[in-house]
Amino acid sequence: MGKVAKDTSLAEMTLRKYERPDGFSGRELVRKLCLGLGLLQPGDSRDVVVDVLHVMLQNKRELSSKEVEDLVIQNREKHNVPLLGIAPSNIRRQLLRCRELFLIEKVKSAYRITENEKFSEIFSQKIKQYYLNSILDRVGEYMSKIDSEFLDKNL
């Protein structure tokens, strides 16, 4: 009997195209980015990831997970958003999701925007050039293998 391959992805990214960002600002702008990057699902009311990213962008210094948690609560209260998903474990999970997309990084026991860079730079250097290209290259390998196994024989 053959070896069973695990269907666990090595990397994964969901991208969505929305209207231009003109007319959006603050939390709503960050929300649209989260939707576009697949950090938030359309119609999802569990949107604490928006507040995690929003407070990270508002604060130019490194923040502990406890500080992020406190600021998220303040942010949600300020924007009259229900205090759902604010458990410390969920805040840490959202920080990890943002780290996996290279948006934030952990330095010792604190978090900051990756290398204190602009998001446009992070997107260009980390997401497009590294992360997305590696995914596209691997999908291309599968396409070539499909061609050789199924299509080249029929021509």
Distance CA 11, CA 132 (A): 9
Distance CA 31, CA 50 (A): 5
> In residues, how long is the chain?
155
Q: Which portions of the chain are predicted below pLDDT 70?
A: 1-5, 153-155
Per-residue confidence (pLDDT) for residue 73, from 0 to 100: 97
Per-residue confidence (pLDDT) for residue 42, from 0 to 100: 93
Mind giving me the DSSP string for 41-55? -TT-S--HHHHHHHH
Q: Which helix (H) or strand (E) holds 111?
A: strand 110-113
DSSP class of 130:
I
Backbone angles phi, psi at 113, to 5 degrees: -60, 135
Per-residue confidence (pLDDT) for residue 154, from 0 to 100: 58
Per-residue confidence (pLDDT) for residue 32, from 0 to 100: 96
Per-residue confidence (pLDDT) for residue 10, from 0 to 100: 87
